[in-house]
Amino acid sequence: MLELKNIELRQGTFALHASFSVDPAARAAVIGPSGAGKSTLLMALAGFLKPASGQLSWDGADITSTAPSARPFSVLFQDNNLFPHMSVAQNVGLGVRPSLRLSAKDKTRVQEALLSVGLLGMDERKPAELSGGQQSRVALARVLVQRKPMLLLDEPFAALGPALKIEMLDLVAELCEKLGAGLLMVSHDPEDARRICENTILVADGLAHAPTATDDLLDNPPEPLRAYLGK
């Protein structure tokens, strides 16, 4: 279980509180108004922002001060962060070893990840030689090779058109199932949540709420979500 115990996050004058548990094997969306703190929450879980107070724990172990690379999460942000001068295989290999000194076993892992995102045979291409959807798949493969128990995605497919976005969301859901990985996914589109996340965490008015069933939340939105959805 991932537990946030009386967590307070601060960015300048902004403050966000969170106190709840997340099922590490489930898929949860993180939605709420712009500027509400969704990215802040993910940054803190990933270990890039230290909580002002409170405790984060994973399977009962305190990970509040654990280095990002030692946390049970792999993270994918919106801009993909692919290195243009590196090949597809090297970009994915960075997920296994930042030094890129890959053993034969590591290289197999890279190939397996490329296969799982449908990019086998594209290893030598540079990101510029790929479509936007394929670039997203490379970024996803780099996250998958890390073999962490949970994926944290921050609007990773927001730049894609609707059809491609749906394809990537379904791929994420399928891979999470296959790998037995959990998911926390920030999205500005509630339909993304409905599509692949059984639970949703609403972030609004300085509070990250406990995960609730996505359909219940979206069908009967509380006031801050109603305002956001324009209902």
Q: Near ligand ADP by CB under 6 A, which window of 10-18, 20-28, 105-113, 176-184?
A: 10-18
Q: Whose Cβ is closer to ligand ADP: residue 36's or residue 172's?
A: 36
CB of 2 to ligand ADP, least distance (A): 19
Q: Whose Cβ is closer to ligand ADP: residue 79's or residue 124's?
A: 79
Q: Whose Cβ is closer to ligand ADP: residue 12's or residue 162's?
A: 12
Mask for 30-69, x = binds ligand ADP (CB under 6 A): --x-xxxxxxx-----------------------------
Q: Near ligand ADP by CB under 6 A, which window of 27-35, 51-59, 104-112, 217-225?
A: 27-35
Q: Does 14 bind ligand ADP (CB under 6 A)?
A: yes
Nearest Cα to 96, choosing from 160, 37, 132, 147? 147
Instruction: List C-alpha distances in Å: 16 to 13, 40, 202.
Output: 10, 8, 12
CB of 97 to ligand ADP, least distance (A): 30
DSSP the chain: -EEEEEEEEEETTEEEEEEEEE-TTSEEEEE-STTSSHHHHHHHHHTSS--SEEEEEETTEE-TT--GGGSSEEEE-TT----TTS-HHHHHHHHH-TT----HHHHHHHHHHHHHTT-TT-TT--GGGS-HHHHHHHHHHHHHTT--SEEEEESTTTTS-HHHHHHHHHHHHHHHHHHT-EEEEE-S-HHHHHHH-SEEEEEETTEEPPPEEHHHHHHS--HHHHHHHT-
Q: Whose Cβ is closer to ligand ADP: residue 145's or residue 153's?
A: 153
Q: What is the CB neighbour count within 10 angstroms for residue 30?
A: 27
CB of 46 to ligand ADP, least distance (A): 12
Q: Which of 8, 11, 149, 164 binds ligand ADP (CB under 6 A)?
A: 11
Q: Near ligand ADP by CB under 6 A, which window of 9-17, 89-97, 108-116, 213-221?
A: 9-17
When CB distances to ligand ADP are compared, the closest residue is: 12
Q: Whose Cβ is closer to ligand ADP: residue 12's or residue 60's?
A: 12
Q: Whose Cβ is closer to ligand ADP: residue 113's or residue 204's?
A: 204
- Computed from CA positions of residues 174, 77, 120, 164, in that sequence, does the dihedral angle turn out positive or negative? positive
Q: Does 12 bind ligand ADP (CB under 6 A)?
A: yes
Q: Which residues bind ligand ADP (CB under 6 A)?
A: 11-12, 14, 32, 34-40
